[in-house]
Amino acid sequence: MGTAHYDDAVRRLQEFGRALALSPAAADLPASFSLGYVDSQLWARYSQFDGKIRVDIHTDGPVKGEAVVLTGEPVLTELLAGSLSVDRAMTDGVILIEGNEAEKVTIRNALIAMSFANKITRR
């Protein structure tokens, strides 16, 4: 991954964190979860503290027992742009959420709420 591409990937992961924080469902997210880009194997951890979402980029991957979101950078780009729905991405298998059932549901709901909020703010 070249420097410019890496910088774009990092900005997108940070943008995802900001968008997620604005999601009405953010408070229901697990204490932390990891997101991995399957194409570049770049990992980021999103964690909640005092009502804020923090992102740590270039982690070593998920910690044991942590929920995981696997996707590709283009998929996250389309989600953030509001041009791909979470349901469609999950149906097509380009987003995979792993964890216990409660974690899967809360992460999925937060992603949907984030996508919906992005569509509204981009109008």
DSSP 8-state class, residue 78: H
Instruction: Please report the pLDDT score of residue 123 as a whole number.
Output: 41
Within a domain: residue 121? no
Instruction: Please report the pLDDT score of residue 102 as a whole number.
Output: 96
Domain, as residue range, for 9: 3-116
Instruction: Please report the pLDDT score of residue 122 as a whole number.
Output: 44
Instruction: Please report the pLDDT score of residue 1 as a whole number.
Output: 54
Query: Directed axis angle between helix 73-81 and helix 101-121, to 10°?
Result: 50
Give me the average pLDDT of each 10-residue run along the chain (123 residues). 82 93 89 95 93 93 96 93 92 97 95 71 43
Within a domain: residue 56? yes
CATH code of 31's domain = 3.30.1050.10
Q: H/E element holding 43? A: strand 43-49
Within a domain: residue 29? yes
